[in-house]
Amino acid sequence: MNKKVAIIGGGIVGASAAYYLSTLPGGDQINVTLYDDGVGQATSAAAGIISPWLSKRRNQQWYQLAKDGATTLMTLARRANLSTDVYHQTGTIVTRTNEKDLHDLYVLAQERREDAPDMGEIKQLDEQQVKQRMPFLTRSQPGIFISGGARVDGAALVEKLLAQAQQVNLIVKRERVKLDDHGKVITSMGPQRFDQVIIAAGPWINELLKPMGINVDVRPQKGQLLELSIPDFPNQENMPVMMPEGERDIIPFGQGKLIVGATHDDEGQFDLSITPEATQDLMTSAQAFVDSLSADNIIRSKVGTRAYTSDFAPFFGRLQSHPHLLVASGLGASGLTTGPLIGRLLAGTLIYGGTPDWSNYEKPLSTYLS
C-alpha cells in the first residue's frame, strides 16, 4: 500500500517538497495531498532575486543554506525545464555609492566565489556601465555585477512545480485545514489519516501547532510590491536585476514589465490590503532610478505575509514529540532562495527516513519550538 503524505502550505517550501516527492527515487510509492487556501501566501506575491553571495549577514548557517539553495534552484530550473519568464539567470548588480564600500564588496565577492563557483563572472561597474546594462535607468549607481544571479517569479514557479507533481502523485486541495491535539489533519470532510505531514504554512504554523501545545517563535510580516509598465527596451527580458543600496529591488521582466519591492511591514502582519504608504515607498525607490515614473505606470500591487523568527533564521525538520510531523518556517525574504533546498531536504527524509544532520544549515528545532 502506498504511503499517504499531506503537505499543509503550497508556497515555495510546500511546492518544492511536492515536486521532489514526485521526482526522487521512491516517490512513486507515495500519494501526496497538498492543502492551501491561497490566502496571503508570500511566494505567490513575490518576484525575487536569487543572489545571496554578497550578504553581510553574520549567520554562517543561513549563508550556507542560501548559497546551496541558489545552486539547488539552478539545478531545479534545468530539470523542471522552467521557462525564462519563471526563472532566468540574468545576473545581479549590487550597488554602492561609496568608493571604498564598492571596493570592499568586490573583494568580498572574490572571496566568496572560492567556495561558490555558481556566482560566475564578477565585474566592478561604474555608473555608465550599469546604465549600459539597464538602459531604462535615468539615474544609476556604480555596482558589482555577478553573472550567476537570477530573477524568479514566485507565483509562476509554484504553479509549474505543482503542475508537474500533479502528473505523478499529487492532489491539490484549495482549502484551509487544521490539526488536532494529536497532529491529525482536520479537513472540510472531517479528520483524514496520513502517515506523515509536512507543515510549510509560513506564519500560520503557530495556529496549526497550538492544539498540540507547541509554541513557535514566528511572527508575520507584511510585504507589498509594485508591478510597473515602462517602455519595452530591446532585450529587456535579459537585463540584470538590481539590488540598490538603501532602496527597494529593481527587477525588469520582458515586455515592459518592471517589478519594484518589496516592503517590510512588521505592523501589517496578516493585513492584505494595499496601502498608500507602501505604494509611495515603492514609487519613491523606483523614481530614484527612473525619474519618468508616476502612478500612471502602476499595473498592480501584490501583498503577502512572510514568516520571521526572532533571529531571522529559518528552521525545518521532524518534530521529536510528533515524529510523523515535519515542519518548516521562518524563511523571511529569502524564501525563494532557500525554499527549494528545504523542500528537497524534507522530501528526502520523508522518503528515506533517518535523522539527517542539518546543523550546517540551521540551529536545533528546539531553538524555535517549545
Predicted pLDDT at 126: 97
Cβ density class 65-83: b for 16+ within 10 Å, e for less: bbbbbbbbbbebbeebebe
Rg over CA atoms, the chain: 21
pLDDT at 257 over 80: yes
Give the separation between CA 253 and CA 240, rounded to whole angstroms: 9
Closest CA to 152 of 344, 345, 337: 337
Under the banding of pLDDT at 50, 70 and 90, the label for residue 161 is very high
- As given in the structure block, the three cell numbers for residue 220 are 508575520
Residue range 292-318, pLDDT digits in tens: 999 999 999 999 999 999 999 999 999
pLDDT at 157 over 80: yes
Torsion on CA atoms 335, 338, 340, 343, rounded to nearest 10: -90
In the chain, the amino acid numbered 154 is G
Give the separation between CA 325 and CA 182, rounded to whole angstroms: 10
- Contacts of residue 156, defined as CB under 8 A and 6 or more positions apart, other chains included, come to 85, 86
Span 132-152, average pLDDT? 97
Predicted pLDDT at 46: 85
Task: Name the CATH superfamily for 92-148+219-308.
Answer: D-Amino Acid Oxidase, subunit A, domain 2 (3.30.9.10)
Span 160-175, average pLDDT? 97
Closest CA to 254 of 281, 227, 272, 280: 227
Identify whether the C-beta of residue 150 lies closer than 8 Å to the C-beta of residue 87: yes
Q: From edge to edge, which strands make up the β-sheet containing 47-50?
A: 47-50, 150-153, 87-88
Identify whether the C-beta of residue 11 lies closer than 8 Å to the C-beta of residue 38: no
Give the separation between CA 249 and CA 240, rounded to whole angstroms: 11
Span 150-175, average pLDDT? 97
Written as one string, the DSSP assignment of 146-166 is ETT-EEEEHHHHHHHHHHHHH
Predicted pLDDT at 265: 94
Predicted pLDDT at 62: 97
Query: What residues does each domain of the chain span?
Result: 3-43+155-218+311-367, 92-148+219-308
pLDDT at 186 over 80: yes
Predicted pLDDT at 47: 85
Under the banding of pLDDT at 50, 70 and 90, the label for residue 172 is very high
* Residue at grid coordinates 558589482: 144
DSSP H helices in the chain: 12-23, 60-79, 99-113, 127-133, 154-166, 205-209, 276-287, 335-352
Predicted pLDDT at 334: 94
Under the banding of pLDDT at 50, 70 and 90, the label for residue 19 is very high
Closest CA to 54 of 128, 2, 6, 119: 119
Residue range 54-75, pLDDT digits in tens: 998 889 999 999 999 999 999 9
* Other CB atoms within 10 Å distance of the CB of residue 234: 8
Provide the mean pLDDT of the chain. 95
pTM score: 0.96
pLDDT at 1 over 80: no
Residue range 94-126, pLDDT digits in tens: 999 999 999 999 999 999 999 999 999 999 999
Hey, CA dihedral for 173, 168, 318, 194, is it positive or negative?
Answer: positive
Predicted pLDDT at 44: 85
Predicted pLDDT at 302: 95
10 CB-contact burial (10 Å; exposed 0-12 / middle 13-18 / buried 19+): buried
* Other CB atoms within 10 Å distance of the CB of residue 276: 7
Span 157-163, average pLDDT? 98
| Fold match, 3-43+155-218+311-367 / 92-148+219-308 | no
Closest CA to 8 of 30, 40, 26, 33: 33
CATH 3.50.50.60 matches 3-43+155-218+311-367:
yes
Phi, psi of 318 (to 5 degrees): -100, 135
* Other CB atoms within 10 Å distance of the CB of residue 7: 32
Count H helices, E strands: the chain? Answer: 8, 20
Identify whether the C-beta of residue 158 lies closer than 8 Å to the C-beta of residue 44: yes
DSSP-derived letter for residue 295 is G
